[in-house]
Homo-oligomer: A and B are copies of this chain.
Amino acid sequence: MPDFAEPLARLIQEVKRLPGIGQKSAQRIAFHLLRAQRDDVERLAHAMLDVKDKLGLCAICNNISDTDVCLYCSSNEREPGTICVVEEPHNILPIETTRTYFGTYHVLHGSISPLRGVGPEQLRIKSLVDRIAQGGVQEIILATNPTVEGEATAVYLSRLLKPLGVTVTRIAMGIPVGSDLEFADEVTMSKSLENRRAL
């Protein structure tokens, strides 16, 4: 590597630690920041520190929030009787963009993965059981990812929660809308066949 001035080399190193950013992108971003107005760089730097200082987890659903109880849990327009369970806070976003879900959420902050040494006790499952125990919950929608870990977590939660007298459902897996059968992998295709519905 050719030599950059020390502050620039250090910035490139730090930017490279961000997800999806390689050496070239890091250089491009670093040179951009170097040319940018100091005010703009300051705003970015402060925004970064603010998320660390001002955000915490919702006391009810563990979603990221700048208030004690998050905007979904505190809203009058959301049905508290339906809880959609997701692995991570950012998994809420694709569900919200559908504009068709009006229940609340529960964020596990991970998925069961024996390989990575993550068991059910490391996930925020107890608080979910507590929410159900308080009554008023009709349905739990398991929206963990369609991966081995997400599936395992869904199976575990389903066995744990059904005895509590709630309906437990799992989001559908199948061919993406607008796609072509040609491009579907075998697992998705077989899931799609398995979950066929009468017309």
Contact = CB atoms under 8 A, between A and B. Distances in A.
A96 B3 CA distance: 9
Interface residues of A, number: 58
A114 interface: no
Interface in A1-54: 1-8, 10-11, 13-15, 17-21, 25, 27-34, 36, 38, 40-54
Interface stretch (A64-72, A126-134, A152-160): A64-72
A83 to B, nearest CB: 17
Contacts of A7: 47, 50-51, 54-55, 66
A8 B55 contact: yes
18 contacts: A5-B55, A5-B65, A7-B55, A7-B66, A8-B66, A10-B50, A11-B48, A14-B43, A17-B44, A19-B29, A19-B32, A33-B48, A34-B52, A38-B49, A41-B48, A42-B49, A45-B48, A45-B49
From A6, A40, A48, A66, name the one whose CB has the most chain B CB atoms within 10 angstroms: A48
A20 to B, nearest CB: 6
A162 interface: no
A89 interface: yes
Interface of A: 1-8, 10-11, 13-15, 17-21, 25, 27-34, 36, 38, 40-55, 64-67, 70-71, 88-90, 92-93, 96-97
A135 B19 CA distance: 49
